[in-house]
Amino acid sequence: MIPPWRRMGRRDRKTERQDERKEARGMIAGQLTEELRKEKIQERREGRRHNGYVLWGLIAVELFMSFSFLGYVHIEPISLTFVYIPVLVAGCILSPIESALVGMVFGLASMWKASAFYVGAGDAIFSPIMSGKPLESFLLSVVSRMLFGLVVGALYYVVQKSRHPLAGSLIVSTIGRSIHTCIVYAFMGGLFPEMGYGIANTLDDVGKWDFYLSVLLTDMIVLVCYLLYHSHYIGKLFRRIRMLDSLHAAFTHGRRGIPVMIVLVLLSSFSVAFYFTDRIDSAMGRYQLILPEEATYDILHLQIQFLLGMISLALLVVIVVIMYQKNFNYLYYEARLDGLTGLMGRGQFFQAGDSMLEDEGYPGGKKCGYFLILDVDKFKEINDRYGHPEGDRVLKSVADNLRREFSDKGILGRLGGDEFVALLNLPLSREEIEKSMGNLKRGVGDILPAAVHEVTLSIGVLPAKRGDSLSKLYRKADHLLYEAKKQGRDQSVFGERDGG
């Protein structure tokens, strides 16, 4: 029979172990909450990158609207102007600087359209050629539209920081046309006082019966663009494009066809425009029409507008096709990733790595590329003590830290278990790679609370140059990793290139 004091001792030890486990779980849960908070902050800081696609798309839309029926709808008695809408959209979903750039395109297109003999006197002042005042016309056409973009972009920025960003954005969109009209009339009054226009003429525009229809349609278009841009689908699309672009030479599927497609689309646009021009000349020759010099200039002017409209449409098509191709490429790439960490698996890493090492642009010299192999020290102990779900979380966190430090420098992979690899093609010095590995180790050290278990890494590092065999690099780096383990873990061991 077991004496009562022994039973009490066993109970106390059991209770103590249970309390330790609860405390460890509590610390780990707190760590998880902190990690989620940091991830959300990082996601907000990054925002939506790759706005270049959206910016170029809006520039193309602006050009297309400027040189087509979509920008100016004239059906008696209705006269609606929509050509300023891309500037509003750029301010709403991008930034004041980018809306000013779209405004600059708006102004340049307006200046070109005014540079013809068939335009009225009120429009001719927008042209440096026709007005006789080149600087004043440039300020009126281009600078006023850039200022319009800056103003509405700044207003959107302010209201989107408020408690009701959508309602605020709709208010800015509603007054957008009036802001544009006010700025243009102010410039006209200051630069061309003889025309008799001033800020007060803004009220004339507001008084038009079709003004409110134009504003309603503008609000609807900007609202749709705002909701679409901030939708989950578009956010996911941009994340895929960003991740694909960060892979550099890791992924070549379908990429080589994009330049060919761009050239073909542009050539098609030029061929249509030149065919149209040639047919006009042929028709005039057929009917023996001889036009005055001014009329000949105006026809050439219109032909160039037609060409610019075709190029803008072609640019839109190219942007859409490139984004579609990159999304398709990412889905193809994602299907081959390691399911737990989102890094490349063994086969994909070696295939992409061999392709990188054959690239003419792979670095050499004092700053070179590197091959890294690393694993988590005492990972089995983490699995045995805290369970496999916690071990999986550690692996995911190691992958996240590895991605955060090295994803813009090369390609990353998980070969299996707790073994990770990286092939860096960004030229780095010894000091730079050591600093990056230090950042990696500090990030990994925070995965679990130090009082529970400090996560450490052993790393083997080998310089890599163009023409190296990835399999040989892997074998040599694996020996370096073994040396790091022998030295007591939490170590980094560097190797040397062959011949030095």
Q: What is the pLDDT of residues 365-417, one digit of tens each?
A: 556 789 999 999 888 888 888 888 888 888 999 999 998 888 888 889 999 88
Q: What is the mean pLDDT of residues 234-246?
A: 80
- Between CA 490 and CA 376 the distance in angstroms is 9
pLDDT band at residue 187 under the 50/70/90 scheme: very high
Lowest-pLDDT choice from 75-79, 239-243, 399-403: 75-79
Per-residue model confidence (pLDDT) at position 342 = 85
Q: Is the pTM of this model over 0.75?
A: no
Token pair for residue 415?
A: 């070969």
Residue 28, CA distances (Å) to 31, 264, 382, 386, 418 in order: 5, 57, 12, 10, 20
Per-residue model confidence (pLDDT) at position 235 = 85
**Contact (Cβ atoms closer than 8 angstroms) between residue 56 and residue 322:** no
Top pLDDT among 86 and 210 is at 86
Percentage, residues of the chain above pLDDT 90: 34
Phi, psi of 78 (to 5 degrees): -90, 135
- Between CA 477 and CA 464 the distance in angstroms is 11
Q: What is the mean pLDDT of residues 316-327?
A: 87
Q: Which residues contact 383 (CB under 8 A, 6 or more apart)?
A: 390, 391
pLDDT(304) > 60: yes
DSSP per-residue letters across 47-104? -S--HHHHHHHHHHHHHHHHTSTTTEEEETTEEEE-TTHHHHHHHHHS-HHHHHHHHH
Which strand (E) or helix (H) includes residue 493? strand 492-494
Which strand (E) or helix (H) includes residue 461? strand 457-464
| Beta pairing partners, 492 | 459
Top pLDDT among 353 and 78 is at 353
- Between CA 36 and CA 29 the distance in angstroms is 11
**Contact (Cβ atoms closer than 8 angstroms) between residue 438 and residue 456:** no
Per-residue model confidence (pLDDT) at position 361 = 56
pLDDT(33) > 60: no
pLDDT tens, residue by residue, 87-122: 999 999 999 999 999 999 999 999 999 999 988 888
Per-residue model confidence (pLDDT) at position 465 = 84
- For 498: left if phi > 0, alpha if psi spans -120 to 50, otherwise beta; the answer is beta
pLDDT band at residue 49 under the 50/70/90 scheme: very low
Which of 189, 178, 200, 205 has the alpha carbon at shortest distance from 125?
A: 189
pLDDT(241) > 70: yes
Token pair for residue 35?
A: 């990690």
The pairing of beta strand 72-75 with beta strand 410-416: unpaired
Percentage, residues of the chain above pLDDT 70: 82
Q: Which residues contact 263 (CB under 8 A, 6 or more apart)?
A: none
Q: Which residues contact 381 (CB under 8 A, 6 or more apart)?
A: 453
Per-residue model confidence (pLDDT) at position 364 = 58
Per-residue model confidence (pLDDT) at position 488 = 83
Residue 264, CA distances (Å) to 64, 235, 267, 278, 317 in order: 19, 30, 5, 21, 12
pLDDT(65) > 80: yes
pLDDT tens, residue by residue, 135-164: 999 999 999 999 999 999 999 999 999 999
- Between CA 228 and CA 231 the distance in angstroms is 5
pLDDT band at residue 16 under the 50/70/90 scheme: low
| Residue appearing with tokens 């609000």 | 219
Token pair for residue 248?
A: 């550099």
Q: Which residues contact 441 (CB under 8 A, 6 or more apart)?
A: 456, 457, 490
- Between CA 332 and CA 335 the distance in angstroms is 5
